[in-house]
Chain A
Amino acid sequence: MFLAQIHVTYKPSILDPQGVAIKNAMHRLSFNGVDAVTQGKYFEVTLNADSKDAAEEQIDTICDTLLANPNMETYRYDVKELANQ
């Protein structure tokens, strides 16, 4: 069993209005040193696969087809093998 920890975030070229709203709220809280905020999504996926490579291959496809919209988002992930339970 493998655990994939996946982050999906907007590409730098995309305006993220939620990130801007959160940054403004931080400024209202007097954290005036905050320069920029990007909001993203975090997923944990546990999956069966024959190897770590095979698991990463599946996660790539899952990200490309479902979890991220390649038009405006990018993703990165980390896959690790879970100890047998």
Chain B
Amino acid sequence: MKFAVISFPGSNCDEDLYYAIVDGLKEEAEIIPHTSTRLDGFDAVLVPGGFSYGDYLRTGAIAKFAPVMPALKAFAATGKPVLGICNGFQILTEAGLLPGSLQHNTNMQFICEPEPLRVANHNTMFTNDFAADAHITLPIAHGEGNYYCDADTLASLKANNQIVFTYSDNPNGSVDDIAGIMNEQGNVLGMMPHPERAVESLLGSSDGLGVFRSLLATFTRTV
């Protein structure tokens, strides 16, 4: 399975993702610059965390016009998996690939902690490796991870089982404890916690590997 990791100016989790795939999952990965206009030949696209374009204007607001974005939208439209983590999640909401937006944490602090989470939906291409209602721990590291959407959007997220991860002890003020959501089609996931920073016990947790294993299992089943 071949993963593309998109690198924007200011991305800083691109290499972590690369090593999570290559060393953790033992699959292929390639870092793709934001100037690339093609994502042909990849089976999944990862949008990494960091501070793309310095978080100028709003997080993800400038990245959504990067040259690679039309290719990313076309890739998502084919139904193949797209995973945005942290700043990647912020970029996917700004680009309109996911509903809602990420605001400042309610306590106005940058939070960098291992965070207990619940897998709210394990019947997805991103979470099938987890047991139903699994409790896992992944690191979070963000100042703007407070997920917001209006009541209608929240109702449709719930109705379609699009809420994939929730916080056990909401750290940032997110609506309904939301830590990660997917699109209606189920092939685009955005999450604030960092699975790529939890892929071996040396890092404190290997729970994050489950996300990448799920993608691999889905890919293996469908090829």
- Determine which of A13, A67, A71, A72 lies in contact with B57 in the assembled complex, contact meaning CB atoms within 8 Å: A67
Interface centre among A18, A66, A71 (most CB of B within 10 A): A71
Q: Is the CB of B58 within 8 A of A17?
A: no
Question: Which residue of chain B lies nearest to A72 when distances are taken between CB atoms in the complex?
Answer: B101
Chain B: interface size category = 10 to 19
Question: For residues 102 through 146 of chain B, which have their beta carbon under 8 Å from a beta carbon of chain A?
Answer: 103-108, 146
* A15 adjacent to B106 (CB under 8 Å): yes
Report, as a range, how many residues of chain A touch the other chain: 10 to 19
Complex partner residue of A17 from B57, B61, B93, B104, CB under 8 angstroms: B104
The CA-CA distance from A21 to B93 in the complex, in Å, is 26
- Given A69-B94, A72-B101, A14 and B57 contact (CB-CB distance below 8 Å): no
Q: Does B148 contact A (CB under 8 A)?
A: yes
Please give the residue numbers on chain B whose beta carbons come within 8 Å of chain A beta carbons, in ascending order. 57-58, 61, 65, 93-94, 100-101, 103-108, 146, 148-150, 173
Q: Which residues of A contact B (CB under 8 A)?
A: 13-15, 17-18, 21, 41, 66-67, 69, 71-72
